[in-house]
Amino acid sequence: MRQLLLLIFVFFASQWLFKKLKRAQAAAGNAHAGAGTARTSRGPAASGAPQLPDPLVRCAECGVHTPSSEAIIAAGHRFCSVDHAQRHAARPTGRDAR
């Protein structure tokens, strides 16, 4: 009786292993066969952008988050606008003034 249970267990285990192996082989085959065409045409549309092209940076003056491409960098700080950069520069000790 115990042997029968063991047999069933082995059967399921082997099936699971077989499935896993098959999936790994299929994945390897897909990557090998359609690496160029299938992925490039589908990649951007299907998955969307996994990461934003430019990360948001925090304005040192007002704390607003701005895309890094639009942010103004002055004196090692990032600002949402030139106005804030100038305002921050006019105040050498910004934290004390507050």
Selected from 57, 71, 72, 80, the binder of Zn ion by CB under 5 A is 80
CA distances from 11 to 14, 23, 73, 87 (A): 5, 18, 64, 73
- Interacting stretch for Zn ion, rule CB under 5 A, among 3-11, 24-32, 42-50, 57-65? 57-65
Selected from 61, 71, 77, 78, the binder of Zn ion by CB under 5 A is 61
Q: In the complex, what is the shortest distance from the CB of residue 51 to Zn ion, in angstroms, rounded to a whole number? A: 24
Told to check if 72 binds Zn ion by CB under 5 A, we report no
DSSP state of 1: -
Rg over alpha carbons for the chain, rounded to the nearest Å, is 29
Q: How many CA atoms lie within 13 A of 12 on its CB side?
A: 5
Binding site for Zn ion (CB under 5 A): 59, 61-62, 64, 80, 84
